[in-house]
């Protein structure tokens, strides 16, 4: 295949990865401790230092870009951002901010959101980005109440007053000073502070910031219970942004991102935003997302932004492949500067990997590098990363620079724990949860299970194997690796199954509650029957390829009502909470295993 001359000049080299090697220490009890061979170096003392540096070195480079209502791009340069951040810091002080009073941000990512976040870091004011869903969805508002009671914010920022009006009436928020992008009846416009001159108090407060100063509090998604406030110190964040960057190639002119993921999550709010700052790159805020009715905006934004790195969830790549197969111009624009595709949060289906590679070869004459990682809110987010061209299949890579990971045997898998300077000191205001989160050697208990890609050679890396808390035993005493099995079934039943939950605690076999493919009218008896037939056929084929009760599905039933965020069945990331669903829908689970087959339960032919 010849290379496309239209884009060849824009393709950067991506072969200067850190060596695929690791330091391994084995214990007699089967525990393995792994550590990167690359020393952690070049760590800043404050994330804001990157902004100040690039304001001097690349003053006219665009730092952040967002869409205006008429679909134009509103941008701010590094020099412009540094000027405004200083003014906002002074505005906060003038408005009465003292010591370490919290600033809650209720609205999504925006230029104003980013400037306020950096201004808070400049003067030691902890920023607390909160999922907008907790304000905008009434059934989820109790979570906002819990968060507000815990952090007691003195300032609250919203992009605009009107959408958040009901949330702002909560007694826990009414005493806070309200800031908004445009200003309003109850709020101060953040733009009123942009041109304020920073006084000595700004610089004095900056000088008192240490590595232990709280930069942010990020709340966990709630996939394992109520959201917890993870303390993100300056030291933690600065070590985290360096720990991965030392292992994977960086664009010499700074990474260009087009990103839809929310900043109240560590992947976007830390890895992407801070990664942009570290390299002096550009971040286009994508106002789309990988779902029907919104993905068209993502395509438009990718076409304009032409990122060098894309970091997103696996579902996005399936949608992208389909879009590029239909639109050659978009395909050429997408690959024009692309160096690396990164996925996290789930396994990348191999059919999607092959489709993306075929499109890459067609466009650029060679395959594109894929990468993956394992991270948590508590690790800022890095634990492991693939510092090589990954082939998918659940690869998680090796430890990031500066971190140690401990692998404790659990049946034929390993529980993974991590220790290092990028790990949180604990949960804000919840010392008992903090104590429970760390073992006697100071390793953070992630709750994730992994496996070695090659049992004889740990340098080949790790593979995801599910969540420890979700695994269960059948009546035979055999463990079911729930996460691993769930991902395998989703891939085998694609596109007919959008999500599923596995049941079988103390039962003879595994059965599933299944949400079918979105966008179809299941009230139509013919459509419903065809869906049942397709899923049954795929599961039957899956069972034939897998021996043993812990790898087979005996029966399933269809769920059409979506998981409830208010009931804790789904996180604000959109991930299902298996334990909550099984508890809340225990009657449906009982019917799955009723002695007389229930009419809504479909058995898989053996």
Q: What is the pLDDT of residue 149?
A: 96
Strands 413-419 and 369-375 turn out to be: unpaired
Q: What is the pLDDT of residue 346?
A: 65
Q: What is the CATH number of domain 1-40+308-416+430-469?
A: 3.40.50.12780
Q: Where are the domains of the chain?
A: 1-40+308-416+430-469, 471-603
Q: What is the pLDDT of residue 223?
A: 52
Smallest CA-to-CA distance from 130 within 112, 116, 141, 144 is with 144
**CATH classification of 471-603 is 3.40.50.720, yes or no?**
no
Using CA atoms, how far apart are residues 375 and 369, in angstroms rounded to an integer? 20
Q: Considering the chain, what is the average pLDDT of its residues?
A: 92
Cα separations (Å) of 321 from 285, 296, 387, 447?
A: 21, 13, 24, 33
Instruction: Output phi, psi for 493, to 5 deg.
Output: -100, 5
Mean pLDDT of 246-252: 88
pLDDT reading at 566 higher than 90:
no
Q: Please answer whether residues 33 and 406 qualify as being in contact, where contact means their C-beta atoms are separated by less than 8 angstroms.
A: yes
> pTM to 2 decimals?
0.84
Digit-coded pLDDT (tens) for 97-139: 998 999 999 999 999 999 999 999 999 999 999 999 999 999 8
pLDDT reading at 369 higher than 90:
yes
**24-28, 153-157, 516-520: which range is least confident on average?**
516-520
| Helix, strand, or coil (residue 542) | helix
**209-218, 221-230, 364-373, 397-406: which range is least confident on average?**
221-230
Q: What is the pLDDT of residue 11?
A: 32
Mean pLDDT of 60-69: 97
pLDDT reading at 63 higher than 90:
yes
Using CA atoms, how far apart are residues 468 and 400, in angstroms rounded to an integer? 22
Angle between helix 200-207 and helix 78-94 axes, rounded to 10 deg: 100
Confidence of residue 491 (pLDDT cuts 50, 70, 90): confident
Cα separations (Å) of 131 from 16, 44, 107?
A: 37, 28, 7
Q: What is the pLDDT of residue 400?
A: 97
């Amino acid at each position: 295949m010849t290379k496309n001359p239209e884009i060849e000049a824009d393709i950067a080299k991506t072969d200067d990865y850190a060596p695929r090697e690791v330091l391994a220490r084995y214990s007699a009890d089967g525990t393995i401790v792994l550590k990167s061979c690359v020393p952690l170096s070049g760590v800043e003392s404050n994330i804001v230092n990157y902004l100040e540096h690039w304001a001097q070195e690349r003053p006219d480079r665009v730092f952040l870009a967002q869409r205006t209502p008429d679909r134009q791009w509103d941008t701010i340069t590094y020099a412009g951002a540094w000027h405004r951040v200083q003014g906002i810091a002074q505005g906060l002080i003038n408005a009465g901010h003292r010591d370490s009073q919290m600033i809650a941000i209720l609205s999504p990512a925006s230029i104003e959101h980013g400037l306020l976040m950096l201004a808070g870091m400049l003067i030691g004011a902890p920023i607390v980005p909160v999922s907008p869903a907790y304000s905008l969805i009434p059934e989820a508002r109790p979570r906002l109440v819990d968060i507000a009671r815990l952090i007691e914010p003195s300032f609250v920022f919203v992009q605009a007053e009107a959408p958040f009006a009901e949330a702002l009436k909560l007694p826990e928020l009414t005493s806070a000073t309200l800031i908004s992008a445009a200003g309003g009846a109850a709020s101060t416009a953040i733009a009123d502070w942009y041109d304020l001159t920073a006084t000595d108090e700004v610089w004095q407060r900056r000088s008192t910031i240490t590595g232990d100063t709280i930069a942010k509090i990020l709340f966990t998604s709630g996939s394992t219970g109520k959201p917890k406030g993870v303390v993100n110190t300056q030291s933690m964040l600065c070590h985290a942004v360096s720990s991965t960057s030392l292992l994977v190639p960086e664009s010499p002119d700074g990474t260009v991102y087009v990103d839809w993921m929310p900043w109240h999550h560590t992947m976007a709010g830390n890895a992407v935003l801070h990664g942009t700052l570290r390299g002096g790159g550009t971040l286009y805020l994508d106002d789309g997302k990988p779902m029907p009715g919104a993905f068209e905006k993502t395509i438009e934004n990718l076409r304009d932004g032409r990122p060098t790195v894309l970091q997103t969830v696996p579902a996005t790549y399936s949608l992208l492949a389909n879009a590029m197969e239909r639109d050659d111009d978009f395909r050429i624009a997408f690959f024009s500067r692309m160096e690396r595709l990164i996925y996290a949060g789930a396994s990348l289906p191999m059919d999607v990997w092959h489709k993306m590679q075929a499109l890459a070869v067609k466009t650029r004459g060679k395959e594109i590098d894929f990468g993956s990682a394992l991270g948590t809110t508590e690790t800022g987010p890095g634990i492991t990363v693939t510092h090589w061209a990954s082939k998918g299949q659940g690869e998680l890579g090796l430890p990031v620079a500066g971190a140690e990971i401990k692998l404790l045997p659990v049946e034929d898998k390993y529980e993974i724990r991590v220790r290092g300077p990028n790990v949180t000191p604990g949960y804000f205001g919840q010392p008992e949860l903090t104590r429970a989160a760390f073992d006697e050697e100071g390793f953070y208990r992630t709750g994730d299970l992994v496996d070695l890609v090659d049992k004889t050679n740990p340098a080949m890396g790790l593979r995801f194997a599910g969540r420890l808390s979700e695994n269960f035993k059948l009546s035979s005493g055999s463990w079911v690796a729930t996460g691993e099995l769930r991902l395998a079934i989703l891939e085998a039943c694609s596109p007919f199954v959008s999500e599923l939950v596995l049941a079988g605690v103390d039962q003879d076999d595994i059965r599933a509650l299944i949400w079918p493919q979105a966008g179809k009218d299941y009230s139509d008896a013919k459509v419903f029957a065809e869906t049942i037939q397709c899923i049954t056929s795929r599961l039957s084929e899956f069972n034939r390829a897998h021996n043993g009760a812990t790898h087979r599905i005996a029966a399933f039933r269809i769920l059409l009502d979506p998981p409830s965020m208010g009931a804790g069945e789904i996180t604000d990331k959109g991930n299902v909470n298996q334990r909550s669903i099984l508890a809340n829908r225990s009657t449906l689970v009982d019917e799955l295993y009723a002695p007389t087959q229930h009419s809504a339960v479909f058995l898989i032919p053996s």
